[in-house]
Every structure is written in structure tokens, then in C-alpha cells.
Amino acid sequence: MDAPSSWDALRKQARKLEAQLDEQMNSYRKLVSSKGSAKVDSDENDLESSIERLLDQLQQVSLQMQAWVSSGGSEMVSHTLTRHQEILQDLRQEFHRLRSSLRAKQEHASLLDDFREFDRTRLDLEEGADSSDQALLREHATINRSTGQVDTVISQAQATLGTLVFQRSTFGGINSKLTNVSSRLPTVNHILSSIKRKKSMDTIILSLVASVCTFLIFIYWLTK
């Protein structure tokens, strides 16, 4: 292959690589502008790898073109080489800038995710603390109700105890009276027995007197 043909082939290859890079750089720009999460997906890695590979290939073509110009190319060829080198440099710089911007967005999204996670954790802790406080308040209220019920039971028990003590004293007085009555009961029984015996004697005497009177009246009636 002669020199002009080789130069034309290098130019065609350079233009082809530049066109592919333009297409993929457009896709990469859209990816960077729409990126809003910290997650790195496979499409992103594949696109970056493809752009880097095309840049390296364009760099190799540029070196070959520079070698061809150094072997005796014209000023126009040298100007064309300079133009391709500038395009390569612009594409590489833009790629590095876009990739840095993408990494910054990913780091920012990661920080936001960490902050949201921290905020959720803080809210969970606060809700847990509120739940603990509410549980303590409910437990305190339950204890107060139980204490009130215990106080009521104690009051009722004290009232019952007072009633029992009063009844005990009353029963004690009755028992004392019963004891006194029991101690006096033999005397009373003796008196009652004496009264009964006296009444019996009076009845007998009255009966005898009535019988004698009746007998005397009968004798008097017979003798008349």
C-alpha cells in the first residue's frame, strides 16, 4: 500500500472511531444527566469500558498518523493530524469530566441515602423511646390503679377488723354477763324451788282445810 493510501486508511479509521465515540459520548452524557442514584449498574460500566477502549484505539491511530507525518508528510497532512489530535484530546477530557461528574453524583446520592438511613434510624429510635415512655406511663397508671385497689381492700379490712373487735368486746360483755348469771343461777334456782315447795304446801294445806270444812258440814247436816 502506498503512502497516500495508508494515510487515507488512517484518516478513515480515525473518523470512524470519532463517530463511534460521538455516539457513545452522547449516550454517556444522557446517563450522567439522568443519574440520580448511588447504584452502579452494568450498562454504565459497559459504556465506560467501551469509550475507554475507543479512546485507546483512536490514540493508536493518532500515533500512526504522527509517524506517517514525521516520515515526510505535507503541511496539510500535518494540519489534519493536529485536528484529529485535538478531537482526541477534547473527547478524552470530556469523558474524564463526565465520569468525575457521575462519580460526584453517585457519592452525593450515597450520602443522601446514608442521611436518609440515619434519619430513619433516628426516627425509629425516637419512636422506640416514645413507645418505652408510653409503656412506662401505662405501667405507672396500672400500678396506681393497683395501689388504689389495695388501699380500698386495706380500708375494708380495717373496717372489718374494727367491726370484729367491737363484736368481740360485745360478745365479751355478754359472756361476762352470762358468767355472772350462771354464777347466780344456783341461788335463783334454789329460791324458785323454795317458792314452788311453799306453794305446794299452801295448796296441800288449803286442800286439807277445805276437806275438813266439807267433812264438818256433812256431819252437821247428818246430825240435824
Q: Is residue 186 part of a domain?
A: no
Mean pLDDT for the stretch of residues 27-42: 78
Note the pTM of the prediction, 2 decimals: 0.48
What distance in Å separates the CA atoms of residue 34 and residue 102, rounded to the nearest whole number?
Answer: 10
User: 140-179: buried (b, 16+ CB within 10 Å) or exposed (e) per residue?
Assistant: eeeeeeeeeeeeeeeeeeeeeeeeeeeeeeeeeeeeeeee
Q: Is residue 86 part of a domain?
A: yes
Confidence bin at 2 (pLDDT 50/70/90): very low
How many domains are contained in the chain? 1
Q: Is residue 180 part of a domain?
A: no
Q: Is residue 44 part of a domain?
A: yes
> pLDDT for 161-194, tens place per residue?
555 555 555 545 554 554 554 455 566 556 657 7
> pLDDT for 128-168, tens place per residue?
655 666 767 777 667 666 666 656 655 565 555 555 555 55
What distance in Å separates the CA atoms of residue 84 and residue 68, rounded to the nearest whole number?
Answer: 14
* 114-123, 146-155, 198-207: least confidently modelled range: 146-155
> pLDDT for 51-92, tens place per residue?
999 999 999 999 999 988 888 767 888 899 999 999 999 999
Q: Is residue 57 part of a domain?
A: yes
| Cα angle for residues 38, 25, 63 (degrees, 5° grid) | 125
Task: Give the domain extent around 96.
Answer: 3-141
Q: Is residue 114 part of a domain?
A: yes
Q: Is residue 147 part of a domain?
A: no
